[in-house]
Amino acid sequence: MKLIMRNVALALLALASLTACGDKDAEKKIAALEARLSELEGKKSPAASPAVQAQPVEEVKPEGPIAALQFEKIEHDFGTISEGQKVSYTYKFKNTGDAPLIIQSAQPSCGCTVPEWSKEPIPAGGEGYVKAEFDSKGKPNAQNKTITVTANTFPKQTTLRFKAMVIPTVTAPVQ
């Protein structure tokens, strides 16, 4: 039952995050959903305020051989782009661990970013990628976005970052 509730909450959270890019009301809803999810998972009491964040559980390094992600770089600057322009960057990595690497997910911080990644297991010493495509439509000014990569590594998550200065489109005044 908990697994079903968790999956439903995660689906709602994903849906809200895809439609919430830049919407303060939606951000509040996401925070409330995250708080509810934590409550359902037993991480904090129902009386706790949604504004109070649950303390992260320290991740324990698994025993035995594990995969390891080594990115060429984890930050990218698209520079100055025009609003409405779609840009992409491919983060390349190598599995420097002792076990095959499997990327479970690449979660963007905003619905304006679409990630792609190596879906097949990457052997030790092998190479792979995470590609970020950013759609600047409706995103004027400075933009800072992330993609959280979850894999069978230690730690499990790696955060990739990119930024862009989006020049707003100029519209002619209606006369």
Higher pLDDT, 115 or 2: 115
- 155: preceding bond cis by omega (within 30 degrees): yes
Q: How many structural domains are present in the chain?
A: 2
pLDDT digit string, tens, across residues 59-84: 787 788 999 999 999 999 999 999 99
Does the pLDDT of residue 45 top 50, yes or no? no
Q: Which domain holds residue 161?
A: 69-167
Angle between helices 2-19 and 24-40 (to 10 degrees): 170
Residues 145 and 78 in one domain: yes
Residue 160: helix, strand or coil by DSSP? strand
Residues 81 and 142 in one domain: yes
**Rounded average pLDDT over 142-163:** 96
- pTM across the whole model: 0.65
